[in-house]
């Protein structure tokens, strides 16, 4: 059985490095290590996660609050959230739900951003499979430089612009101008290729630093 890694939320930032972006970067880090997993999310999901993390009181429930209220009314609990697959840059997640007795368990498919927004409201743990962290994650060295995580069984697959190999992606992105990178970022997000979007975002931030 694939190993599950417990993650924690360590930050949310605008995907373009400013507060006017329509997309945000949610950064997860393993609880007992230094590997990180970036997930590009929409502005609504970013606001929803931030509201729950900061425990901000709002007058009317938004969608994720409504889910929580509905679940509470029918004695349903979210046991955990699991990011269980990565296909062509798209993360796949599910909610593992139980009744109060814990005797009945259901798995519900969800977008990763929605699943995490709900997990925060239930204080539910967030897990990711080891192979996903190896393929899409990274670490940061003592100089705050991004170091891709290399999987021992990594298989290179050609995409429209770059290979999924971390070195090939980095080399290809350096050839684009900043404006072209921003266009590529929007294209990757629109196609839900979030792994590629995260790498493009890292290259944009590297140039701005």
- pTM of the complete model beyond 0.75: no
Q: CA-to-CA distance for 152 and 64, rounded, in angstroms?
A: 38
Measured distance CA(73)–CA(134) in Å, rounded? 39
Taking each continuous run of H as one helix and of E as one strand, the counts in the chain are 7, 9
pLDDT of 166 reads: 53
Q: What are the tens digits of pLDDT across the range 42-96?
A: 889 999 999 999 888 888 999 999 999 999 999 999 999 999 999 888 899 999 9
Q: How confident is the model at residue 173, as a pLDDT?
A: 80
The model's pLDDT over 134-161, given as tens digits with 9 standing for 90+, comes to 989 888 766 556 666 653 334 333 333 3
Q: Give residue-wise pLDDT tens across range 93-129.
A: 999 999 877 778 999 999 999 999 999 999 999 999 9
- 187 by DSSP, 3-state: which? helix
Give the torsion sign (CA, 165, 166, 169, 170). Answer: negative
Q: Is the dihedral of CA 94, 30, 202, 163 positive or negative?
A: negative
Judged by average pLDDT, the poorest of 4-13, 17-26, 89-98, 137-146 is 17-26
Task: State the pLDDT at residue 178.
Answer: 82
Does residue 175 register a pLDDT over 50? yes
> Cα separation of 109 and 124, whole Å?
16
pLDDT range class, residue 198, cuts 50, 70, 90: confident
Domains of the chain, earliest start first: 4-134 (3.10.690.10), 138-208 (no CATH)
Locus of tokens 């949610």:
26
Report which listed range, 125-134, 157-166, 178-187, is most confident.
125-134
The strand pair at 126-129 and 146-148 is best described as unpaired
pLDDT at 20: 45
Contact 115, 124 (CB under 8 A): no
């Amino acid at each position: 059985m694939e190993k599950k890694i417990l993650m924690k939320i360590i930050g949310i930032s605008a995907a373009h490095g400013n507060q006017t972006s329509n997309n945000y970067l949610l950064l997860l880090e393993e609880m007992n290590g230094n590997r990180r997993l970036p997930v590009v999310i929409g502005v609504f999901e970013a606001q929803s996660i931030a509201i729950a993390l900061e425990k901000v009181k709002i007058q009317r429930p938004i969608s994720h609050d409504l889910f929580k209220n509905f679940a509470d009314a029918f004695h349903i609990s979210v046991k955990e959230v699991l990011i269980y697959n990565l296909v062509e840059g798209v993360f796949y997640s599910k909610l593992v739900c139980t009744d109060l007795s814990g005797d009945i368990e259901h798995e519900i498919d969800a977008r990763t951003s929605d699943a995490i927004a709900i997990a925060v409201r239930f204080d539910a743990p967030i897990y990711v499979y080891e192979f996903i962290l190896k393929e899409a994650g990274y670490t940061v060295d003592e100089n705050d430089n991004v170091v891709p995580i290399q999987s021992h069984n990594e298989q290179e697959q050609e995409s429209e612009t770059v290979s999924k190999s971390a070195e090939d992606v980095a080399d290809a992105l350096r050839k684009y101008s900043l404006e072209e990178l921003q266009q590529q970022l929007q294209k990757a997000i629109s196609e839900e290729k979030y792994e590629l979007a995260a790498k493009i975002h890292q290259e944009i931030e590297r140039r701005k630093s």
